[in-house]
Amino acid sequence: MNLKERFNEVMQFNTNVHSIKWEFGYWGEVIDNWYEAGLPQTEYPQIASGVTTPTSGLYNIAWRSIKGDRLPKGIAVMAGGLYWPTQSFPLDHDVRSYFGMDKSQVMVDVNLMFHPMFDVQVLEEDEKYFVYVDVDGVARRFLKEEATLPSGEKYAITDRKSWEKLKEERINFDDIRGRFPANWEQLVEDYRNRDYPLAIGGYPHGFFGILANLTGYEHLFYNYYDDPDLIHDIVGTFTLGSLKIWTKSKNVISHAHGHRNDD
C-alpha cells in the first residue's frame, strides 16, 4: 500500500492501517543545528530559485536576500504536515530519511490569485531590512536578522477603487491555461502517476486568508462592519474563479495519458 492509498484509508477511519508519519516542519536555524549535531546531510533543503505561482512563490525574493550557504533562521522547512510547495519554503529530505518518515503531501501548483502576477520590485535594502513588492502586489518588510515571514506595509486592496482596478487589470479567469506554470505538462504527468496525497488551494487562499493577505488584518476587520459588500465581492470573485480553475485542472490531470490540452 503506497502513501496515497494509506492516506485514503486513514481518512476513512480504517483502524487497521497505521497513520501517516509527518511533521509540520522545522525552522531553518533548528535544522542547521541538527546538522551540526550529527544529522547526516545528503540533500540540504533548497529555496526555489524562481516563482511559478503566488501560492508556491510568495516571499521568495525575501528568503533569497539572505546571502550565504545556510537557510534563513526563521524559514520553515516543510516536512509533510503542510502541503508543499508553499511560500517558497524548502522541502526536507534528510530528517525524513533518517527517521523513516512518510513523503510529503503535494499541492497542485496553479495560480489562483492575480493573472498577470505583479512584477517583484525591491524598494529598499540595507544590512537590516529588505523592503519589496511581492508577486501579489503587497509591499512587505523583511527583517534579515530574524528572517521570519515578511510583514505587510502597503496592501494591494485598500478600498473599493483599488479592488475594482485589480479586477479590471489582474483578475483574468478566462485564460485558465495562462495560470498554469511553464512546466505544467511535466507536473500533470507527475500528478497522474503519484503515490502521495495531492492537495488543492493553499495559503493565502480561502475565505479568510485571501482577505487578510490582500487587505491586511486591520482593514479586513473594519471592513467586515464598514463595507461587507466589498468583502463579499472579493471572496465571491476568487471563489468562482477558483472553481473554474480547479475544474479545468482536474479534467487535465485525470484525462487519459497522451492527451494534450493547450487551451
Q: Over the chain, what is the mean pLDDT?
A: 92
Question: Is 263 a residue whose pLDDT tops 70?
Answer: no
The per-residue pLDDT for range 44-97, each reduced to its tens digit, is 999 999 899 998 999 999 999 999 899 999 999 999 999 999 999 999 999 999
How open is the CA angle 27-59-140, to the nearest 5 degrees? 115
Quick one: what percent of the chain has pLDDT higher than 70?
96
Rounded to 5°, the CA angle 125-131-135 comes to 130
Least Cα distance to 241 among 113, 56, 57 occurs for 113
- Which DSSP category does 251 fall into? H
Residues 175-221 have pLDDT tens digits of 988 999 999 999 999 999 999 999 988 888 989 999 999 999 999 99
For residues 220 and 209, give the distance between their C-alpha atoms in angstroms, rounded to a whole number: 11
84 — phi, psi (to 5°)? -135, 140
The answer to whether the pTM exceeds 0.85 is yes
For residue 135, report the phi and psi dihedrals to the nearest 5 degrees. -65, -15
- Residue among 248, 203, 223 nearest 88 (CA): 203
C-alpha cell at 3: 502513501
Is residue 262 scored above 60 in pLDDT? Answer: no
- 162 CB burial (10 A radius; 0-12, 13-18, 19+): middle
**Which residue's entry shows cell 484525462?**
255
Summarize the confidence of residues 101-117 as an average pLDDT. Answer: 94
pLDDT at 165 over 90: yes
Does the structure show a pLDDT above 80 at 245?
A: yes
What is the C-alpha separation between 91 and 86, in angstroms, rounded?
A: 10
Among 24-28, 45-49, 125-129, 253-257, the range scoring the smallest mean pLDDT is: 253-257
